Amino acid sequence: MTTRTAPARRRTGRLAGAAAVVRRRLLVAVPVLVATSVGMFALGAASPVDPAKQYAGAAAFTTSEENLAQIRANWGVDDPLPVQYLRWVGNLLRGDLGWSTSRHEPVTSVLAARAGWTLLLIGVTLAVVLLASLLLGALAAYRRGGLFDRALRAAAYAVESMPVFWIGLAAIAVFALALGWFPAGGLTDVTATGTSWPDVAHHLILPVAVLAVSQAPWFLLFVRDAVAESLRDDHVLAARARGLPGRTVLFGHALRTALLPFLTLVGTHLPELVGGAVLVETVFSLPGLGAVTVEAALGSDFPLLAAITLVTTAVVLAANLAADLAYAAADPRVRLDG
Amino acid sequence: MIRSRPTLRRLVVTTTATGLLALAGCSAPTVPEEPAGRRTFVVATAGESDTLNPVLNYGVDGASLIFDGLVARDAGNRLVPGLAAELPTVSADGRTVTATLRDGVLFHDGGALTATDVAFTYQAVLDPKVDSTLRSDLDMVESVTAPDPATVVFRLRYPYAPFLQRLTLGVVPAKLLDGQDINKAEFNRKPIGTGPYRVESWTPGDRLVLTANERYFGGRPANDRVVVAFVEDDNVRAQRMRAGEFDAAELPPKLATGFAPDDTYRVEQVATADYRGVMLPMGNPVLADVAIRRALNLAVDRAAMVAGILGGTGDPAFGPVPPTSEFAEPSIVGKPTADVTAAAALLDAAGWTPGPDGVRAKNGRPARFTLMYPASDTLRKDLALAVTADAKKVGIEVKPEGLTWDAIDPRMKSDALLMGYGTPYDPDFVSYKLFHSRFAGQGYFNPGSYRSQVVDQALQAGRDQADPARRKAAYATFQKQLAADVPWLFLTYLRHSYVLKSSVQGVSPRVEAHEHGVANSLWWNIDTWTRS
């Protein structure tokens, strides 16, 4: 390990070239998004589900073929797939995401009404998971083999083997039913007259906690192993030898080295977090994107599926970009302009 | 190393303390006791509508809380006047139906209801540009006109005896929808009706908040607000009911019975017209033999299905007209338990003799057929397996197969299928399309191509004749012929179960259709509910 000199230059130079990287990534993002949307339409075409029957629900069994054909014609879902795709792209370029056939409203209003809650759930959970896993993982590594480390690892393995759905129901049974601390579900109190932030926050504590607990083990074990590893690194041993305080050594030297691969992995782990969020939304009856996504997939609702896929892809691409930038910020050896 | 210990410990202690503080802060009750809460009712269901527009199928059978039809139904599902001053009159030829509107009915926005609104509502349903599946049910309507502001005239293509039953559809205000694309109108989310409640807010996936309509023509509701919570998952709904959030919730029978021992709750098992049975296609060489179909009808143990699969919350079914209907024919009711001896004797007499493997055969053809069921429906799967086990006892081999609907559709002509239908309102509604030979092989209408002249004539007579006694006779003939031919193996009628807080007063269950969500559930008369 080489010793760093000229700390002042380091600060300014680290993110040099970030703009170029962002530009380059955006250029790559366009073909990725196009490929994703084409793939989505192709998958949809392979689906044998009739969106008109899906729309009719139980009435499909008492609705005449003629009536269903009229509805399909109104939607243009019988048109050839390339025609449907081009129509969709044309509307997209004009800022119109289309009409959701499963939700009966413009796709933009479905997203506007629901994406915020899902993003809030995921965002808060991610922050909680990262903070908790860095802190607890580092502490466990510091006293490797100690009581805290063993208990934490046992708990992590146990939680990892529990389905999110089950953790959610168990949390409701304990914290909502037995103890009465938190509401069992919903976004606001059922009789509330409006959506107030304290009410929403109160309702989100349990879902965020459940999602965080279910996602944490993976991060936690990773941090613990990486920190334990780097505690044996030369520069960490050197820092200790120089007599630096334990906290400085742990968080300033060991954790910092261990952070690098972790940042990349956060980006790749994001889809799993989204998957967990869908289940948590179901258990806690939150009006997020989870339920509508399932409904859209079952009902061959192309416009809504395409929009959700695009948004998710964009979020994952952005997360990867952010991870790379963070990597550059955290590791002086990585040069963005290189 | 040594120096670091206190720091670390301090860190852990601080973290734990902060966490505990956060927990304690959140656990403090933040919702103040609200006196008006006693005047709010909260109900929970899984059945959220896609829209709240009656033209697009919201609450078409009435009891939609937000809208009224020309007619409504009372606790016994009998027609009573709604927006019409009295029940509409039918001309002698049965093709002209005239309704006179009640005076002084106002929409929630203060606009007055006129005959134009009624005509507009029905014309919208009939417009092919409108995505309404209700059009299939109103294909007898030739025109709807409003000759004066208080009169609506329906002109029918053919006499249709139960037409008044189709007038429960909620009426929408023409001036808010005229000239708009009804499929995409803002109205579908923020509707204006004449009903006992107006919509305060609707958050799809979360809840619908309704407030009392002070000027409701039927009298102001006895409560101020109704909140309908949409909770998709059954277990979650049960837990939130248990947490005291809801006054009433629709729950599957097995979850509902868990509340029975608790005095703070009351469980209602509501009879329905929703039956499950096996459609036996005439295109199948084994099922084409009426002896096999009759033997199956004797061999199935309906009592065991009700007790075992439905947990007691159902009734044995012997025909498509529910026993709660005035048109039900009592003579078709058979034994609820299996009669293996009679079934075996029938098969012996028809030449189906037991083979070495226990499966009967006739002229070298084994008594074997496939029974399809939609794989995602656990109730139908359980029923299919029960039929399989019962049939085996009389030497008929059934191969149950769980499939998706798109895989089922092309095979309905030759393979048996576990289906569900039923309506509590008029025997014509579903049965005409299901058993009339005119609809043989048309999609889900009569997919097994059952053909019987007697049934065709009886169904037609039930539709053509206005005289109730003659209609009753026609449907008696129909039910008897169906019981003799067994084109369907009727198994059970379901019951819908609900859990209520014991303090809720004024609940009046009535026979329900398959669909029950915001509209047409146990809370159909929630405007009269009070708390003790």
Side-chain half-sphere of A39: how many Cα atoms within 13 Å? 9
Which segment, A30-39, A231-240, A325-334, B204-213, is predicted with the most confidence on average?
B204-213
Contact B189 A105 (CB under 8 A): yes
**Contact list, A67 vs chain B (CB under 8 Å):** 133, 135-136
Contact A246 B233 (CB under 8 A): no
pLDDT at A323 over 90: no
Averaged over successive runs of 10 residues, the pLDDT of chain B (532 residues) comes to 42 43 40 55 89 90 92 94 96 95 95 96 94 91 96 96 95 93 90 95 89 94 93 85 92 88 93 94 95 96 93 93 93 93 95 92 94 90 95 95 89 94 91 93 90 96 93 96 96 94 94 85 93 86
- Residue B8 confidence (pLDDT): 43
**Contact list, B127 vs chain A (CB under 8 Å):** none
Which one is predicted more confidently, B265 or A215?
Answer: B265
**In this predicted model, what pLDDT tens digit does every residue of B188-215 receive, in sequence order?**
989 999 999 999 999 888 889 999 999 9
- Residue A16 confidence (pLDDT): 67
Question: Could you tell me the pLDDT band of residue A139, with boundaries at 50, 70 and 90?
Answer: confident
Among A172, A246, A292, beta carbon nearest to B8: A246
| pTM across the whole model | 0.80
Residue B140 · residue B156 · CB < 8 Å: yes
Q: Give Cα separations from B250 to B66, B196, B229, B265 (angstroms).
A: 20, 22, 11, 13
Which range among A11-25, A215-229, B302-316 shows the weakest confidence by mean pLDDT? A11-25
Contact B184 A99 (CB under 8 A): yes
Among B133, B239, B514, beta carbon nearest to A184: B239
Among B51, B232, B406, beta carbon nearest to A104: B51
Residue B295 · residue B394 · CB < 8 Å: yes
Sign of CA dihedral A190, A191, A197, A201: negative
Q: Residue B168: which of B53, B274, B79, B51 has the closest Cα?
A: B79
| Chain A / chain B CB contacts < 8 angstroms | 169
pLDDT at A6 over 70: no
Query: Collapsing DSSP states into helix, strand and coil, what is residue B300?
Result: coil
**Contact list, A292 vs chain B (CB under 8 Å):** 205
- Residue A94 confidence (pLDDT): 86
Å between B359 CA and nearest CA of chain A: 34
Contact A135 B30 (CB under 8 A): no
Which one is predicted more confidently, A17 or B159?
Answer: B159
Which one is predicted more confidently, A200 or B38?
Answer: A200
Q: Give Cα separations from B402 to B296, B341, B411, B448 (angstroms).
A: 20, 30, 13, 19
Contact B236 A199 (CB under 8 A): no
Question: Could you tell me the pLDDT band of residue A336, with boundaries at 50, 70 and 90?
Answer: low
- Residue A56 confidence (pLDDT): 80
Which one is predicted more confidently, B148 or A221?
Answer: B148
Among A103, A246, A282, beta carbon nearest to B233: A282
Q: Which residues contact B75 (CB under 8 A, 6 or more apart)?
A: B508, B510, B525
Contact A191 B42 (CB under 8 A): yes
Contact B27 A181 (CB under 8 A): yes
Å between A218 CA and nearest CA of chain B: 21
Among A53, A60, A291, beta carbon nearest to B205: A291
The string of DSSP letters for B419-454 reads EEE--SS-THHHHHHHH-GGGTTBTTBSTT----HH
Q: Which of A55, A67, A117 to mutate to test the interface with B (most CBs of B within 10 A)?
A: A67
Average pLDDT over residues A111-121: 86
**Phi, psi (5° rounding) for residue B363?**
50, 40
Contact B205 A205 (CB under 8 A): no
Å between B230 CA and nearest CA of chain A: 8
**In this predicted model, what pLDDT tens digit does every residue of A75-97 receive, in sequence order?**
887 888 888 888 888 888 888 88
**Contact list, B137 vs chain A (CB under 8 Å):** 62
pLDDT at A160 over 90: no
Tell me the two tokens of residue B198: 């107006």
Question: Could you tell me the pLDDT band of residue A15, with boundaries at 50, 70 and 90?
Answer: low
**In this predicted model, what pLDDT tens digit does every residue of B230-251 receive, in sequence order?**
988 888 889 889 888 899 999 9
Q: Can you state the angle between helices A302-330 and A255-283, rounded to 10 degrees? A: 160
Contact B207 A282 (CB under 8 A): no
Q: Which residues contact A214 (CB under 8 A, 6 or more apart)?
A: A159, A162, A164, A167, A276, A280
Contact B42 A62 (CB under 8 A): no
**Contact list, A103 vs chain B (CB under 8 Å):** 50, 204
Among B203, B243, B405, beta carbon nearest to A177: B243
Which range among A184-193, A275-284, B106-115 shows the weakest confidence by mean pLDDT? A184-193
B323 by Cβ neighbours in 10 Å (0-12 / 13-18 / 19+) ranks as middle
Average pLDDT over residues A304-313: 84
**Contact list, A282 vs chain B (CB under 8 Å):** 232-233, 236
Average pLDDT over residues A323-327: 76
State in Å, rounded, how far the first CA of chain B is from the last one: 68
Structural domains in chain A, sorted by start: 6-100 (no CATH), 111-330 (1.10.3720.10)
- Residue B30 confidence (pLDDT): 40
Average pLDDT over residues A163-174: 86
Å between A148 CA and nearest CA of chain B: 11
Which one is predicted more confidently, B373 or A277?
Answer: B373
- Residue A14 confidence (pLDDT): 62
**Contact list, B406 vs chain A (CB under 8 Å):** 48-50
